[in-house]
Amino acid sequence: MSDKPCSSTRHSSSGSSSSSSSLSSKDFVQVPIQASLPCTRQNVNAHDVLESIVRVARAQDVLQVADFTTPDVPNTRIIGGNDTSIEKYPYTVQILYDSQLTCGGALITSRHVLTTAHCFVASNGQIVSPRYFTVRAGSTYLGRGGDVYSVSAITVHGSYNTPLRSNDVAIVTLTKAVNFTSSVRRATIASRNAVVPDNGSVVAVGWGRTSLDGPESQVLQAVEVFKVSYQECYQRYDELQQAINSPFPVTDGMICAGILDVGGKDACQGDSGGPLIHRGVVVGLSSWGFSCAQPYYPGVYTRVATYATWINSTVRKYYLL
């Protein structure tokens, strides 16, 4: 989380050189993506592989979805980017690349994590084996506690577009099921009919940076922001796009949130892929923004409801139903 802006020229390549040096040529495949990843919110360059594995389903692995037609359930949260605990957001996980935080994510079954595609696709178009990634679940603290799981597959949305940052969604498959406890639970995700009202309260959660040049937070953070209307978000980023001649398209597959014309609260580097929560339901995934916590430009998140069908079908591919 961030309470002050990050650099507007921020890219996702810092901190990755030592990790990448251990990779051999056989770990990479060229894909047709040749653009930088400006304003995404991951820590290190990471990549992806598209794989499918068929597994036997269990009742606990049926996706939990909500469309907000049910009574409101109070959502415990810390306002203003304060420390929180994993027990309050037990589906929140750390995605590690070469043992270092690269992104966050939300556990949606005992073996699947919902996150963003840009966490795994590099700016140069290369992808890397999932064996370089692990997932830490069940810990309030960065880099310690909980349990760490190996990754068997990463599925990126087939229409993910790097330069436009559209369809920024992916599913990570773990090599074995997590153990559910009070600190490890499945998230309830938005159904395709779910709509977050404009100005509705939402909470972003993660271990990302809490200051401009500082390190990641060592303790899980939660910050309350508010949904910005599609029209307002589109207009502001369209102005930016015209001013600097760089693409910042806001689509209906995105949801914007912040504190307009005030700023100071937002997701930032290290928070990519982490959940945006409304009434206890994961409605967004931290995706991109112009710097961090800017008053005029809200944070942009992948809208989970838009991809509910894709999420369900992708998870089902891993099971014999």
Active site positions, annotated:
118, 168, 272
In Å, what is the CA distance from 194 to each residue of 191, 203, 251, 304?
5, 16, 17, 9
Residues paired with residue 170 on neighbouring β-strands, in sequence order = 115, 156
CB 191 within 8 A of CB 308: yes
Per DSSP, the three-state class of 147 is strand
What is the number of helices (H) and of strands (E) in the chain? Answer: 3, 19
For every residue of 195-253, DSSP letters joined together read -PPTT-EEEEEES-BSSSS--B-SB-EEEEEEEEPHHHHHHHHHHHHHHHT------TT
- Residue 308 sits at φ, ψ, to 5 deg, of -60, -45
Q: What are the tokens at 92?
A: 């929140």
CB 120 within 8 A of CB 132: no
Pairing relationship of beta strands 64-66 and 188-190 according to DSSP bridges: parallel
Distance between CA atoms of residues 55 and 203, nearest Å: 33
Amino acid at residue number 308: A
